[in-house]
Amino acid sequence: MNQHTYLVVMAGGIGSRFWPFSRTNHPKQFHDVLGVGRSMLQMTVDRFAGICPAENVFVVTNRDYTELVQQHLPEMPADQILGEPIGRNTAPCIAYASYRIARQDPQAVIIVSPADHAVVRVDEFRRVVSQAVDAARTQDILITIGLQPTRPDTGYGYIQYREGQEAGIPVELRKVKTFTEKPNLELAQEFVRSGDFLWNSGLFVWRAEVIVRAFGQYLSDIAEVFEEGAAELGTEREVDFITRAYAHCRNISIDYGVMEKADNVYVMPAEFGWSDLGTWDSLHRIGQPDAQGNVVDGDTLLYDTTNCMIKTPTERLVVVQGLEGYIVAEYDNVLLICKRTEEQRVKEFVADAKAKKGAGYN
């Protein structure tokens, strides 16, 4: 295990498409979504065991969730939990952690991971990530990990790569040609047929100095903010500085701000049973269905029910009869019953619940 390897876990999102399970005051990364006794955040940190030391793991989250992070990761020192005053998408989040780590360790290689993804083949995941870390340690490149698509999914971003090998670049890597965010079905079908597109996992690997340089080149406004206050990172003045800094950071993703513009971006094709668990249907897809195609987490009795996703409190018996292809999800004060084919309307339901019933329902 290399002492210069660092992990940054992004854990500030709300995950509204997973409503009512994922809520503003308790997002999905703090839930045991898979019913295995570990939250998504805990499973994410577990996944990197043996890749980087525990003292090199940082979690970036909204300040409202820092106590939740501490509850789920009680062994993590408070100064490894980086609280954002407001959400500003992934570019400021990654800039905060990267500038902090770069100041602490100029030789750092940083892995960036969302907190709410699922991985089935953890050993293969660790092998792939370790290869990416080794490549980033010796190359001035920005690496993303891409997954072989198994279907034309319109909910994922896609990465097109160039065929062939570049001199001096590890054989596992391919030069990125284009990024496409959530295409329509016809385009997604063409991407899968072409054979040179991968799903964008949102997993990144790079040296600290390389990503800091990229911020300076492609997001100079954000770079200027963090460069001016770099000396305050890792000190008692950090919280006040970050409050000021985020007031000057625009809302922009790392993909749009850096990865789509840089000319030193490479992708590592992989397959380790990945899902971003962004929707109820994605949970159904990776779950263990019964003989009728139902994926169930809860105390239930099912009759004439097929191809449903059911997640309910274990302390409540739920009886379901005559449903085909539905989501039945209950958490706290909300019960959702929705066709799986209409799950894209969940954000609409959340907005209506908040507008008509109050903030306690979002």
Looking at residue 80, which CATH number applies to its domain? 3.90.550.10
Residue 168 shares a structural domain with residue 216: yes
Residue 164 shares a structural domain with residue 309: no
Residue 290 shares a structural domain with residue 263: no
Q: Which of 227, 245, 275 is the last residue of a domain?
A: 275
- Paired tokens of 186: 């016809």
Residue 136 shares a structural domain with residue 245: yes
Measured CA distances, 243 to 42, 83, 237, 238 (Å): 27, 9, 10, 9
**Domain limits for position 143:** 5-275
Tell me: cis bond preceding 74? Omega within 30 of 0 counts.
no
Residue 241 shares a structural domain with residue 301: no
Residue 164 above 80 pLDDT? Answer: no
Residue 7 binned pLDDT confidence (cut-offs 50, 70, 90): very high
Q: Which of 102, 118, 318 is nearest to 201 (CA)?
A: 118
Residue 268 binned pLDDT confidence (cut-offs 50, 70, 90): very high
Beta bridge mates, 57? 7
Mean pLDDT computed over 52-69? 97
pLDDT value for 362:
86
Q: Which of 229, 254, 275 is the last residue of a domain?
A: 275
pTM: predicted TM-score of the whole model, two decimal places:
0.93
Mean of per-residue pLDDT scores for the chain: 94
Residue 222 shares a structural domain with residue 299: no
User: Could you tell me whether strands 309-311 and 317-321 are parallel, antiparallel, or unpaired per DSSP bridges?
Assistant: unpaired
pLDDT in tens, 38-47: 999 999 999 9
pLDDT value for 195:
87
Mean pLDDT computed over 196-208? 95
pLDDT value for 168:
79
Who's near 289: CB < 8 A, 6+ residues apart? 295
Alpha helices in the chain (DSSP H): 40-47, 66-72, 90-104, 122-138, 185-194, 208-218, 220-228, 238-247, 254, 280-286, 346-357
Residue 46 shares a structural domain with residue 104: yes
Angstrom distance (rounded) from CA 200 to CA 274 = 11
Q: Is residue 251 within 8 Å of residue 90, measured between CB atoms?
A: no
Residue 98 shares a structural domain with residue 139: yes
pLDDT value for 253:
95
Residue 339 shares a structural domain with residue 259: no
Angstrom distance (rounded) from CA 226 to CA 247 = 12
Angstrom distance (rounded) from CA 103 to CA 105 = 6
Place of tokens 């980033």: 136
Q: Give a yes or no: residue 362 inside a domain.
A: no
Residue 178 shares a structural domain with residue 314: no
Residue 277 binned pLDDT confidence (cut-offs 50, 70, 90): confident
Residue 347 above 80 pLDDT? Answer: yes
> In the chain, how many domains are there?
2
At 71 the three-state DSSP class reads: helix
